[in-house]
Structure 1
Amino acid sequence: MKYVLDLLEKAGLLECKPASTPMEANIDLWRDDTSLLDDAVTRPDITFAVGVVSRFMHKPREVHWTAALEILAYVKSYPGKGLLYKKHGHTHISTFSDVGYAGNMGDRKSTSGFCTFIGSNLITWRSKKQDIVSRSSAETEYRAMAHTACEMVWLRKFMTELGLVQPGPMPMHCDNQSVIYIAQNPVFHERTKHIEVDCNFIRDAWEKKIVSLIFTSSSQQLADILTKTTSSKVFSTICDKLGMINIYAPV
């Protein structure tokens, strides 16, 4: 909380109006008709917003500064918000993998995101713009799933070294049924040459029962706030499911 208040004071926003989300839905930060700024200036709930704004640090404009102030206005609403770790009686690994397809209006690159749970506690998360432009959502999904699977394999090895062996395959939740179907059916090989490495990596992990691919509806996709902006209602619901609470909220 002290860090948040110090940050707000440094930005001159201690008296600003609080915001319910760190970034407005459908905001356009790729406009170049606003003035350039003179000076270019971790929490899972602000990871995506901070990542997007950071892409313009080399040439920030007023619209980007306004977006950065919106993040601070959101943090002011919940200065004591953070992850609460509880005992759930198990240490099973599970993940949610998602993609914001072609969400970057400047170059139409997609944003990958995943969140990893151990014992139902959020342990790691990532939001990153992909390096290349993809012509299909399946390509972006497989690229994101491959990164997620790598994280799962690393965590499984780490947990094993601690003497906590994972029982059975680790569930990976994805909201794209066609991608899951292709991963489980090698007959689509000719149609997926452009994503052959990522596709085969996921298929190999599935066949060896390292991961299990589970379809999750978009409304239950917890990695959504790592790949795109959402409404305040959806945003709040996902934060609750990620295990985030405001420790200074009145009981």
Structure 2
Amino acid sequence: MEVTYTDHGIFVSQERYLLNLLKKFDMENCREASTPLEVTHKLSKYDGADYKDMRKYQSLVGSLIYATLTRPDLSYVVGVLSQFMHCPKDPHWILGQRVLRYIKGTIKEGLYYPFTSDLKLRAYSDSDWAGNQDDRRSTHGYMIYIGDKLVSWCSKKQHIVALSSTKAKYKGLVVAAKELIWMQTLFKSLGIDQGTPTIHGDNMSSLYLAANPVFHARTKHIEIEYHFLREKVMEKEIEVEYISTKDQLADIMTKSLDGVKTNRFKSMTGVKEKKMI
């Protein structure tokens, strides 16, 4: 990991590591890709012939997981690839090569942390619905900021099938809330009071469910553990707030985006080229 100090902030990147990664898989001279994943991808563990070298595939995915330490824009596609570690097919390896081609074109990018005094905690939470082709499970993701600095992010497939988009989004909010509470506790132990953290979501039904103390019949199937978010909201330990889908930064954690949206969200999350800071 490479850390560069500027007059206005800190730039964290892994350019040397990514370059060695390209060389390791003989992709240093490959053509570049504008996005890590096609918008209309439909990967399945049943499609295509078995990839002949499982260890090579597993090595690639493991290496890409480490790359996500400074490249949150890779988190979703790496999560997709990791679902096939035990049974890689040819299309999965082709996607892995596409990710390397995307890295080739963005190898100088990393996370930029400007020097600012704002310490308020805020999070963006989102989920797709039944996006997995094999088991119809959803993927949730969150991005947590201290001021305008991205400090924690996650993209993960949910453990159970969500019966509605509201349930998938609500569970995503809960996961983000757990991380926020942990971070808030950490800051309190350091004597720093940050006020009430805010979670931004783009689904009105899930936000209403979190803020409304009335138990609706249509939510009886949601496990009790997930309703602790409602308790935290009622106790004013966490706020939930609606945000337009076009400004939902966590979109990059839950789905594949086109080139325009990818670049826009990367800029908003703090992923920049070194020469642009």
Question: So what's the TM-score if we normalise by structure 2?
Answer: 0.86
**Among candidates 183, 195, 198, match of residue 210 of structure 2:** 183
Residue matched to 2:91: 63
- 8 Å CA contact 2:198, 2:240 repeated in 1: yes
Q: Tell whether the 8 Å contact from 1:97 to 1:113 is kept in structure 2 after alignment.
A: yes
Counterpart selection for 2:264 from 237, 248, 251: 237
More off after superposition, 198-207 vs 107-116: 198-207
How many Å separate the matches in 1 of 2:147 and 2:194?
11
- Please give the alpha-carbon distance, in whole angstroms, between the structure 1 residues aligned to 2:87 and 2:104: 26
- 1:120 aligns to what? 148
CA distance in 1, matches of 2:176, 2:186: 15
Instruction: Mark the runs of 5 or more structure 2 residues left unpaired by the alignment.
Output: 1-14, 58-67
Per-residue CA shift, 1:91-140, capped at 9, x if unaligned?
A: 11000010011110111000010010012100000011011111111111
* Alignment-mate amino acid for residue 22 of structure 1: P
Deviations along 1:145-180, one digit per CA (max 9) or x if unpaired, are: 11110100000010111221112x211000001111
Q: Give the gaps of 5 or more residues in structure 1.
A: none
- Of the three residues 197, 200, 217, the one matched with 1:170 is 197
CA shift for structure 1 position 79: 0.8
Q: Does 1:14 pair with 2:28?
A: yes
- Residue matched to 2:251: 224
Distance 1:44 1:208 in 2: 32
One-letter amino acid matched to 1:13? M
Partner of 2:177: 149
Q: Where in structure 2 are the equivalents of 1:30-45 lying within 5 Å? A: 30=44, 32-40=46-54, 41=57, 42=68, 43-45=71-73
User: Is 2:45–2:87's contact at 8 Å kept on the other side of the alignment?
Assistant: no
How far apart in 2 are the matches of 1:34 and 1:203? 44
> Residues 129-144 of structure 1 correspond to what in structure 2 (within 5 A)?
129-144=157-172
Q: Distance in 2 between matches of 1:33 and 1:210?
A: 46
SS, match of residue 195 in structure 1: coil
Contact 1:98 1:175 in 2 (8 A): yes
CA distance in 1, matches of 2:45, 2:224: 36
Question: Is the counterpart of residue 24 in structure 1 residue 65 in structure 2?
Answer: no
1:5 to 3, 14, 19: 19
**1:85 aligned partner:** 113
Q: Secondary structure of the equivalent of 1:85?
A: strand
Aligned identity (percent) is: 37
Cross-structure match for 1:211:
238
RMSD of aligned alpha carbons: 1.5
Which whole-Å CA distance do the structure 2 matches of 1:52 and 1:44 have between them? Answer: 14
